[in-house]
Amino acid sequence: MSRFSRRDLLKAAGAVGVGASAAFVAGPAYAGTGARRGRAEDQKSFFVATDGKDSNPGTQAAPFATLEKARDAVRAWRGAARGRATAPVTVFLRGGTYRRTQSFTLDARDSGTPGGPVTYAAYNGEQVRLVGGVDLPATGFGAVTDEAIRDRLPAGSRDIVREFDLKALGITDYGQIVQAGYGLPRSVTPPELFFNSEAMTLARYPSTGFLTTGQVLDPGGNPRSVLGDPDKMAAEFAKGATFKYTDTRPSTWADTSDVWMQGYWFYEWADGNLQIKAIDPAAQTISTRTASMYSVKAGQRYYYYNVLEELDSPGEWYLDRSTGKLYLYPPSDLSGASVQLSLLADPMAVLDGCSNVTFSNLAFEGSRSDGIVITDGTSNTVEGCTLRLLGGRAVAIGDSSVSAGPHGGSDNEVRGCHIQATGQGGVALAGGDRATLTPANNRVVGNEIHDYSRLQLTYSPAVELAGVGNHVANNHIYDAPHVAIVFRGNDHVIEYNEINDVVKETNDAGAIYAGREWTGRGTVIRYNFLHDIVGSGGSLFASGIYLDDCFCGTTAFGNIFYKVDTAFQIGGGRDNTISNNIILSSSHSVTLDERGLNWAAGDLAPGGAWGMYDLLAAVPYQQEPWRTRYPHLVTIADDQPAYPKYDVVEYNALCSVPALSIAPSARTYGTVDHNLTLTADPGVVTVVDGKPTLGNDDVIAAQLSGYQRIPMDRIGLDANRATGSHRPGRRPGRSRKIN
């Protein structure tokens, strides 16, 4: 795993559970059983049940108890007779909760075949939960009687907060809070508490919102300034910061040995946590044990957490690791409630080098790590599953942290799933061969993905793309503090998605984002509906589509923007085509700057901080198929590389939004033409019961010659339910070569 965060990787290396009904288990868009149908003699089924035994034969009448036994039975059955190796096999899980204390692992021995897949599926729509945590029974919660603890609790909470002795359940591993966030690798999270499938909040101050840092006496280290040198970075991280606090609350806390702060310490797009080293009540200063990635400056947002004295609001909790006592301010009546503590520190399922395996209609929840990890496999599918209450990501296919996207295999798919309440992102999708530009054809289609970056707030997208030729379509992505889709690599297709209410807590960020890469070309972003995207304010904005820091070679066609801070932010890149888009009721339309000629000139230059020339040298850009696919890239180093050349902004329609803001050099060396400004609402978006709904583009088509109609009936999750999954079709527009 890369040492650094998504933002640093983008900037340095690339572009840049079940509820009460079976329908919930099946996810938002897929209701199949997962079993392949055919002649009975051509198939084999095994059964697993919560009341089964591994000594049983695995039949419906006498099921196994564990997935591992079923897996081994599949291996044995397929190897026992000629012809069985290509027969379809289904492992049916009967309804119930299966507690997982280790990853369910599959390898090449567990592969199916194209005509004979191996499927693990819920039986007949029954509710199946694979859970990496433990249930805390309501009977185990009692009043707080320890006077020392009661004295530390707020007066109004002492008789409301309930205590649970984890040691009584044999739980002694409580994990540790560790430094995490922007610029740091993903980590296993400490245990989390979930109440009726909602994440509880470690006791914090303030209970909502932020404070701001006061005068900074010592900004601490700046690890980002020595990026790439691990020893120097470690030395910088060791230099903690000291700043004045503007609210006297910390002076009242009895024990701050494990109190942490979460904040945006320097930039509004870079979050992180810092542990308190010392508080000086007389001077009203706080010192931290370590540095944040960019150091600390005054006026930045933060809050305190893991503070017993602040356990004052419903849904807050605290774990005393020295005693094993858990304290909860119940959000509602404990009797009959489901209270779960996540424990498993590993992915719930790992598919390593296996192919043609399907997980269908299962719920994965309660791990402190990822839900499902797939590496070096082909034609594996996660369909109709619920993935929630996870500390890491829902599904990780290959390594999406670098542009090459290794180990992603090909033709893997996540479809029709419900992904919610994950800590560090939704789906990571890699794969393809960047040297030969061979596509992976991995897909994320028809999923509902929301609340997917609870713990690592920035650069934990709903979908992260890397490699070559992957596909994201018909997903509904919403409710996140930062990005929705991040892409790096080449030739991806991002289409027919609805994205809203993201970038809610940050700025200088985009719902769809890529940055700092000349070579990450060929991606098409088309027919997406982006609405209600407004950042945290300030001089910088939240963007619908953000091609940051001279990113190149992207086509954005037929997208619809409604109530977005900035529809397009194009940061000085080349060969980008912004065509046939509709921008409505937004603060800014298209902003295309020439930063490579002014404030970013040094960063872009050879040897500069962005490393653009190193990234260029890392790919065979002057050889086939690169030289034919991206002809302007062949000579970029000798073609005024700092200029935003060959950009095209045309056939876009604007209403209730400022005019295009295009830098002079972009106009000189590119095309800006045939853009329409409307004075009256064209009827593209109507609001029904508070929800923006797509109408039609008749008015625009009548007034803008050359405009191509947008297939609005195919946009969004509901459209995918009606039409089913699809693979990317031909690329849009007027057959313009993507450079």
Whether pTM > 0.85 for this model: the answer is yes
Q: Domain of residue 157: give its range.
A: 134-203+309-340
Query: How many separate domains does the chain show?
Result: 4
Q: Which of 474, 496, 518 is the last residue of a domain?
A: 496
Task: Please name the amino acid found at residue 187.
Answer: S
Q: How many CA atoms lie within 13 A of 469 on its CB side?
A: 17
Q: In this predicted structure, what is the pLDDT of residue 718?
A: 84
Q: How far is CA 273 from CA 263, 289, 322, 681, in A?
A: 6, 11, 22, 45
| Residue numbers of the chain with a pLDDT score lower than 50 | 1-41, 725-739
Q: How far is CA 54 from CA 58, 71, 74, 97, in A?
A: 8, 11, 13, 17
Q: Which of 279, 305, 331 is the last residue of a domain?
A: 305
Same domain, 1 and 58: yes
Please say whether the beta carbons of 159 and 143 come within 8 A.
Answer: yes
Same domain, 225 and 184: no
Same domain, 537 and 640: yes
Please say whether the beta carbons of 139 and 163 come within 8 A.
Answer: no
Q: Domain of 460: which CATH number? A: 2.160.20
Q: How many CA atoms lie within 13 A of 437 on its CB side?
A: 19
Same domain, 582 and 652: yes
Q: In this predicted structure, what is the pLDDT of residue 122?
A: 99
Q: In this predicted structure, what is the pLDDT of residue 634?
A: 98
Collapsed DSSP state (helix, strand, coil) of residue 692: strand
Same domain, 730 and 585: yes
Please say whether the beta carbons of 324 and 174 come within 8 A.
Answer: yes
In the chain, how long is the greatest CA-to-CA distance? 81
Same domain, 119 and 167: no
**Among 3, 9, 37, CA closest to 459:** 9
Q: In this predicted structure, what is the pLDDT of residue 531?
A: 99
Same domain, 25 and 162: no
Dump pLDDT digits (tens) for 609-653: 999 999 999 999 999 999 999 999 999 999 999 999 999 999 999
What is the residue-wise DSSP string for 460-501? --SEEE-SBS-EEES-EEE--SS-SEEE-SB--EEES-EEES
Question: How far is it, in rounded angstroms, from Cα 303 to Cα 263?
Answer: 6
Buried b or exposed e, range 88-110, using 16+ CB within 10 angstroms:
bbbbbbbbebbebeebbbbeeeb
Same domain, 454 and 590: no
Tokens of 161: 């907060």
Dump pLDDT digits (tens) for 369-428: 999 999 999 999 999 999 999 999 999 999 999 999 999 999 999 999 999 999 999 999
Question: How far is it, in rounded angstroms, from Cα 530 to Cα 527?
Answer: 10
**Among 546, 523, 395, 401, CA closest to 470:** 523
Same domain, 479 and 352: yes
Average pLDDT value over all residues in the chain: 92
Q: How far is CA 532 from CA 148, 548, 687, in A?
A: 48, 21, 12
Same domain, 56 and 150: no
Same domain, 471 and 543: no
Virtual torsion, Cα 710, 27, 110, 365, nearest 10 deg? 130
Q: In this predicted structure, what is the pLDDT of residue 457?
A: 97
Dump pLDDT digits (tens) for 562-581: 999 999 999 999 999 999 99
Same domain, 270 and 243: yes
Q: Does residue 386 come out as left (phi exceeding 0), alpha (psi in the -120 to 50 range) or beta?
A: beta
Cite the DSSP H helix spans in 96-161: 147-152
Tokens of 398: 């290959």
Q: Domain of 274: which CATH number? A: 2.40.30
Q: Which of 437, 472, 496 is the last residue of a domain?
A: 496
